Amino acid sequence: MATRPETAKKILLHWMDATIALLGFVFAAHIVSMAAEERISVPVALFALACMTGVLVLYCLILRDAYDDRPLPAVKLAVGALLAAGAVLLPTLHLTDVGMWENIAYIWLASAVLYLPLWATVCLGAGLLTALTVFLTAVTTSPWQTVLVGQLISAPLVPAATWIWCWMWRTIRDAHDSQEAKARLAVSEERLRFARDLHDLLGHSLSVITLKSELAAKMATKDAARAASEMSEVRRLAGESLIEVQLAVDGYRSLDLDVELAGVRAALEAAGARCTIDARAHDLSPAARTLLAWVVREGATNVLKHSRATRCSITIGGGVLEMRNDGVDSPAAGSGSGLRGLAERMVTAGGSFTAESTPTGEFLLTAKVPA
């Protein structure tokens, strides 16, 4: 099925073909009438018709080259120039007045200007106009003023129409390409968002599941009841993770800040890190609370996976969240893809995000949501 630009291109080309065919019919009728009136001989008329037909056919072919932005059709232009000269010069030499098929030269000009810059177009057009005016004035009885006025009317008409037709096609094509580029960008951004969200969803849950599974394995021979309890919690977390992934796929998931804070406290304390929370977020919008919930989740995941923290504090006030822990292994600790994705999420939403080691040996995660 043809795309809209391809359909528009076909319409414009058929429109131009019809226009050229109409001009060719008018020129041919004029040449035939001159031959019928014996103003020119039949061989000259046939020669002029052949040259005119060649120019018009080459014009249509060159126009298609220009639509597709192909290399300069130098051979076609050169042959077209010779045919245009033959169509204009030979019949005119047998007349005493100015005809109309000298406009064939301007049809060739229209095909040439498609590949020329503006200054070259003006120079070529002025040179052709001057040459034709001088030639027609010299071989006919028409005054040069009359010849010049006629040429000034004809010279810009077909080149301007041709340029407008090509400009319309390129504008339609560029607009379509722009729409396609925007669509591809939207798809790429959505894929990135989904990948980031999936990492945020599973990174935290799998870290806790791994921790509890290890704990259950250690307790299996010492405290079977505790091991069974931990495995029951693993099953619950796995089920919740599956539900969250399903919601993420549907695009309808939303995190609750209070629930995330409670879950993070339980996970960190189960890992042996004392967690203190001071959260004042009742005045924040639902969107801002959701953003901070993602920060809390990813921050806790980062602590569980990349540190040996014994204490962690979470403070929320005035739309600013600070999460500190004392388990920094190196200055680059915590600089994984999860935090990079979280930073991208915050910046996209109009907030800010930093995660860095402090001079006191702690790791500080700071996030600010838009008011």
pLDDT in tens, 33-66: 888 888 878 888 888 888 888 888 888 888 887 7
Statement to judge: residues 276 and 327 lie in one domain: yes
pLDDT at 129: 82
pLDDT at 252: 45
Provide DSSP, 113-137. HTTS-HHHHHHHHHHHHHHHHHHHH
| Beta bridge partners of residue 73, listed in sequence order | none
Residue range 292-306: mean pLDDT, rounded:
85
Statement to judge: residues 249 and 260 lie in one domain: no
pLDDT at 231: 82
Task: Determine, yes or no, domain membership for 194.
Answer: yes
pLDDT at 192: 74
pLDDT at 276: 92
pLDDT per residue as tens digits for the range 278-297 = 998 888 888 888 889 989 98
Residue range 250-264: mean pLDDT, rounded:
74
Quick one: pLDDT band at residue 1, thresholds 50, 70, 90?
A: very low
Task: Determine, yes or no, domain membership for 177.
Answer: no
Q: Can you give the residue range of the structural domain that contains 54?
A: 4-155
Give the end of a domain, one of 88, 120, 155.
155
Range with top average pLDDT, 82-96, 157-171, 196-210, 356-370: 356-370
8 A C-beta contact, residue 195 and residue 202: no
8 A C-beta contact, residue 102 and residue 15: no
pLDDT at 365: 92
Give the end of a domain, one of 208, 238, 253.
253
Residue range 121-145: mean pLDDT, rounded:
80
Q: What is the mean pLDDT of the chain?
A: 79
Can you give the CATH number for the domain in which 354 is found?
3.30.565.10
Statement to judge: residues 150 and 232 lie in one domain: no
CB atoms inside a 10 Å sphere around CB 364: 15
Q: Is the pLDDT of residue 366 over 90?
A: yes
Statement to judge: residues 136 and 211 lie in one domain: no
Statement to judge: residues 239 and 333 lie in one domain: no
8 A C-beta contact, residue 58 and residue 97: no
Percentage, residues of the chain above pLDDT 90:
6
Statement to judge: residues 138 and 190 lie in one domain: no
pLDDT at 334: 46
DSSP summary character for residue 282: T
Statement to judge: residues 22 and 138 lie in one domain: yes
Q: Which of 334, 324, 327, 295 is nearest to 308 (CA)?
A: 327
Can you give the CATH number for the domain in which 226 is found?
1.20.5.1930
Q: Is the pLDDT of residue 122 over 70?
A: yes
pLDDT at 324: 92
Statement to judge: residues 194 and 63 lie in one domain: no
Residue range 4-28: mean pLDDT, rounded:
81
Among 202-216, 257-271, 345-359, the minimum mean pLDDT is found in 202-216
Statement to judge: residues 243 and 276 lie in one domain: no
pLDDT per residue as tens digits for the range 214-254 = 877 877 777 778 778 878 887 787 777 777 766 665 544 56
Give the chain's domain count: 3
pLDDT at 332: 44
Q: Is the pLDDT of residue 12 over 60?
A: yes
Task: Determine, yes or no, domain membership for 276.
Answer: yes
Task: Determine, yes or no, domain membership for 331.
Answer: yes
Stronger pLDDT, 99 or 60, i.e. the higher one: 60
8 A C-beta contact, residue 100 and residue 23: no
pLDDT at 333: 46
Our measurement of the distance from residue 344's CA atom to the centroid of its chain's CA atoms, rounded to an integer in Å, reads 21
3-state secondary structure at position 62: helix
Statement to judge: residues 186 and 317 lie in one domain: no
Residue range 92-114: mean pLDDT, rounded:
74
Single pTM value for the model: 0.46
Rounded distance between C-alpha atoms, residue 137 and residue 25, angstroms: 26
